[in-house]
């Protein structure tokens, strides 16, 4: 079997077009959605992500402002900035780009963001509400993964889903979303003894570890839907966690890297920012 390619760029474009219409309607009511993006230090990957996020806001009509702080910024100064953004009426979403420099306690920073403006869905209030089925911001990357799977028409309910990676940002929320959709979910991590045993039984396989080429064809069930969240630069090129060329000959559906999950993360950030207005 040769897999159908899930085109993340196209799915992202379609959602962004709808979001643009929504911002036009909101502006007619006198409301411009506003996002504050906070970057601390000069991590090149973070700088690139922030630039893409700001640009994407402009494209759908969301007002955005970037706060670029020095690498040696004191924790209290960042907390003060967040508090001032919490108070602003024109700012509906606050995003503090991670990772933060080591003198800053990431948990304290996440806790400082008003949960109603936490469009990343990292605040424990949002995580808790999400887990008990109350309205909440859902973290952007796993939310994007769900949207991509939905475009395949696969009914997630009752399926066996294996998530490889148990991070707070992707693995855990992705697994929980799949559980909410009615899947039977297995989460694999660093201490998993027989990874292939779990990946081979998956109707839907979600991989988010940042280990290029970890998943080979022999680890994938025939016809499975394979979602590759990994993006690692190898010799100047982005490489996923899945050996794309061989796995696409066995899977039913597969996301490429780049052009799969990547474009969806920023799209769902835009989506959550507009939800924050509502």
Q: Which residue shows structure tokens 């835009």? A: 270
**Phi, psi torsion values for 251, nearest 5 degrees:** -75, 165
Output 34 or 252, the one with its CB closest to ligand GUN: 34
Output 186 or 265, the one with its CB closest to ligand GUN: 265
Interacting span for ligand GUN (CB under 6 A) from 81-89, 90-98, 100-108, 246-254: 90-98
Q: Does 97 bind ligand GUN (CB under 6 A)?
A: yes
- Cβ pair 238, 258 in contact under 8 A: yes
The question of whether 241 is a catalytic residue gets the answer no
Catalytic residue among 7, 72, 90, 97: 97
| β 204-207/160-164 pair status | parallel
User: What tokens were used for 130?
Assistant: 């999400």
The question of whether 180 is a catalytic residue gets the answer no
Q: Does 111 bind ligand GUN (CB under 6 A)?
A: no
Query: Taking Cα atoms as reference points, which of 65, 100, 268 lies closest to residue 112?
Result: 100
Interacting span for ligand GUN (CB under 6 A) from 3-11, 91-99, 125-133, 232-240: 91-99
Among positions 140, 148, 187, 254, the unique one binding ligand GUN when judged by CB under 6 A: 140
Output 4 or 55, the one with its CB closest to ligand GUN: 55
Minimum CB separation from ligand GUN for residue 265, in Å? 6
**How many amino acids of this chain bind ligand GUN (CB under 6 A)?**
9
Among positions 120, 181, 241, 243, the unique one binding ligand GUN when judged by CB under 6 A: 120
Output 220 or 266, the one with its CB closest to ligand GUN: 266
Query: Taking Cα atoms as reference points, which of 107, 108, 99, 102 lies closest to residue 76?
Result: 108
Q: Does 177 bind ligand GUN (CB under 6 A)?
A: no
Residue nearest to ligand GUN (CB): 98
The question of whether 194 is a catalytic residue gets the answer no
State the first-to-last Cα distance of the chain, in angstroms, to the nearest integer. Answer: 44
Q: Does 98 bind ligand GUN (CB under 6 A)?
A: yes
Q: Does 96 bind ligand GUN (CB under 6 A)?
A: yes
Q: Does 238 bind ligand GUN (CB under 6 A)?
A: no
Catalytic residue among 118, 120, 203, 228: 120
Q: Does 118 bind ligand GUN (CB under 6 A)?
A: no
Binding site for ligand GUN (CB under 6 A): 95-98, 120, 140-141, 169, 265
């Amino acid at each position: 079997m040769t897999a159908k390619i899930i085109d993340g760029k196209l799915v992202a474009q379609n959602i962004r077009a709808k979001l643009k219409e929504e911002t036009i309607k909101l502006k007619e009511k006198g409301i411009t959605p506003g996002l504050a993006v906070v970057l601390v230090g000069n991590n090149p990957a973070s700088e690139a992500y922030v630039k893409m996020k700001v640009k994407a806001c402009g494209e759908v009509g969301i007002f955005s402002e970037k706060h670029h702080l020095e690498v040696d910024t004191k924790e209290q100064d960042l907390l003060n900035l967040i508090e001032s953004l919490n108070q602003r009426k024109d700012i509906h979403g606050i995003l503090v780009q991670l990772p933060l420099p080591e003198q800053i306690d990431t948990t304290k920073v996440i806790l400082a963001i008003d949960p109603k403006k936490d469009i990343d869905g990292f605040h424990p209030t949002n995580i808790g509400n999400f887990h008990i089925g109350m309205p909440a911001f859902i973290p952007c990357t796993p939310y994007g993964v769900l949207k991509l799977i939905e475009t395949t028409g696969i009914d997630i309910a009752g399926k066996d889903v294996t998530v490889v990676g148990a991070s707070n940002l992707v693995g855990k929320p992705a697994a929980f979303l799949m559980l909410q959709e009615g899947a039977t979910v297995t989460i694999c991590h660093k201490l998993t003894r027989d990874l292939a045993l779990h990946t081979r039984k998956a109707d839907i396989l979600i991989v988010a570890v940042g280990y290029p080429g970890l998943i080979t064809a022999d680890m994938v069930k025939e016809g499975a839907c394979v979602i590759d969240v990994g993006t690692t630069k190898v010799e100047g090129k982005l490489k996923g966690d899945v050996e794309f060329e061989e796995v696409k000959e066995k899977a039913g559906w597969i996301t490429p890297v780049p052009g799969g999950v990547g474009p969806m993360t920023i799209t769902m950030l835009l989506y959550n920012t507009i939800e924050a207005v509502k």
